[in-house]
Amino acid sequence: MDMGLAGRTALITGGSKGIGLAIAEMLALEGCHLHLVARQQADLEAARDKLLSIAKVDVHVHAMDLAERCSAARLAAQVPQIDILVNNAGSIPRGTLEEIDEDRWRQAWDLKVFGYINMSREYYRLMKARRNGVIINILGNGGEALDAGYIAGGAGNAALMAFTRALGGQSAKDGIRVVGVNPGPVATERLIGLMQKEAGTRFGDPSRWQELEKGFPFGRAATVEEIASTVVLLASDRSSYTTGTVFTIDGGMVNRGSLI
């Protein structure tokens, strides 16, 4: 299905791997020009090469740490003309209140929570001046099914859910849409690595990691393509009346009252 995105420009943070790269691939196939942001230049260059091999679009990469103050403002000054912002950078570690000390908590929130807020602030201003744009925040279902063993992540995602709904609830007057996506477990390299480690601990064999998926809905984690497909739809004019809401893609995990 043609989503009508050809010729538009998207900026994706955390765009060199995982969900971010899958989103970039789908947008590239729709004809979107891309700006990818991540910390590691080598990963960005590999992502750029992959994208250029599948689509005839412009791909620019920006190696920077969005946890640093003023980084969002610097990026917006370098790349002011975008139609779609996908905030996707950052992950927050599991752990209880006792296990996650202040330094780890602040470090994680500086990238994901404040990084999303700062990027949204900079690009909302630019989009408002043109009265057009879409901001999509990739969050996580931990903000809905709260777990004391993931307290920093759950609190951060819940805060970003409130931020997304509040900003998107009034953004229509400025010609902007703001939406969120809450993935559950997604089969990224990071998740597979964590499950291999757990399988090694539990079974003595990292190769048995897929046995840990049995407790997931449908007996598996989501694919990155399943998340990316929703993001592309939300970025398109086919979702032109959608703002101020968050879509959860977790196979119903939140509604069964458990994240495991």
How far apart are alpha carbons 245 and 180 in whole angstroms?
6
Q: Helix 113-130 crosses helix 102-111 at what angle (to 10 degrees)? A: 20
User: Starting at the edge strand that comes first in sequence, how are the strands of the sheet with 176-183 ordered?
Assistant: 59-63, 33-38, 9-13, 84-87, 133-138, 176-183, 245-249
| Residue 150 is a catalytic residue | yes
246 φ, ψ to 5°?
-125, 130
Closest residue by Cα to residue 244 from 147, 134, 149: 134
Contact 19, 186 (CB under 8 A): yes
E strands of 96-241, at which residues?
Answer: 133-138, 176-183
Closest residue by Cα to residue 217 from 181, 186, 188, 182: 186
Token digits for 153? 């992540």
The residues annotated with a catalytic role in the active site are 150
